[in-house]
Every structure is written in C-alpha cells, then in structure tokens.
Amino acid sequence: MYRFKDRISLKNIFGSVQFSVIFFIAIFVFFLYMLGDISEDTRVRQEESLNSAVHRCIVSCYCVEGTYPPSLDYMVKHYGLTYDKSSFFIDYRSEGANIYPEVAIIRKGERHE
C-alpha cells in the first residue's frame, strides 16, 4: 500500500518548467509585437496631427492676412506651429500669395521607394 501514490517525477517537473518557459517566451514575443504595432500607430497619428496643424495654420494665415504664408518658418514664428524636427521633415512650397502652397510631410528614418 503506497501512502503517496502520486509521486512527482523529474519528468513532470521538467515538462512543466519547459511549458512555463515556452509560454513566457510566447507572451513576451506577443508583447513586443504589440508594442511595435502601438508605436507605429502613434507615429501615424502624429503625422496626421501635424498635417492637420500645418493646414490649419495655412488657412488661418490666409483668413487673417489675406495671403498664404510665404514659408514654413513664417508659420512657426507667427502662428505657433510646433513639431518634432527630429522625426518629421516638412517640404513647404509656396507658389504665390494667392495660390495654396504645396505641403509634404515626410517621416525621417524611413525609405520610400
């Protein structure tokens, strides 16, 4: 008569440890994947917000002064436009005082082909 029928064997211990380690690694990889996805979503929202802010400044300048802003620096200085210059490049091309300027916002550190 065995007093302790269910003995814990080394095989069971290592099997549960392996399962725990594999499960932890899987959760960690999933966490890193989601973190990268959230980071990309944040960059996309920042770009959309910057695009909206630039166009609002352009329209505000036209409403107040009757002409479109001559440069990006003009909007920064007179209309309070701020953005992260290390993350974004704004290509601003003004064709004239009464022609809506061309604006391109480019994320730095990305290759576009």
Q: Tens digit of pLDDT for each residue in 40-95?
A: 788 889 999 999 999 999 999 999 999 999 999 999 999 999 998 998 999 999 98
- pLDDT band at residue 96 using 50, 70 and 90 as cut-offs: confident
Burial class, 54, CB count within 10 angstroms (exposed 0-12 / middle 13-18 / buried 19+)? buried
- Counting the structural domains of the chain, the total is 1
Q: Who contacts 105 (Cβ-Cβ below 8 Å, separation ≥6)?
A: 47, 50, 51, 54, 88, 89, 90, 91
Provide the pLDDT for residue 105.
Answer: 93
Examine residue 41 and state whether it is found in any structural domain, yes or no. Answer: yes
Examine residue 32 and state whether it is found in any structural domain, yes or no. Answer: yes
Task: Please give the residue that has the higher pLDDT: either 57 or 97.
Answer: 57
Q: Tens digit of pLDDT for each residue in 4-23?
A: 555 555 556 556 777 778 88
CA–CA gap between residue 58 and residue 50 (Å, rounded): 12
Examine residue 95 and state whether it is found in any structural domain, yes or no. Answer: yes
pTM of the full structure: 0.66
Provide the pLDDT for residue 39.
Answer: 76
41, 47, 38: which is closest to 84 by C-alpha?
A: 47
Enclosing domain of residue 48:
11-107
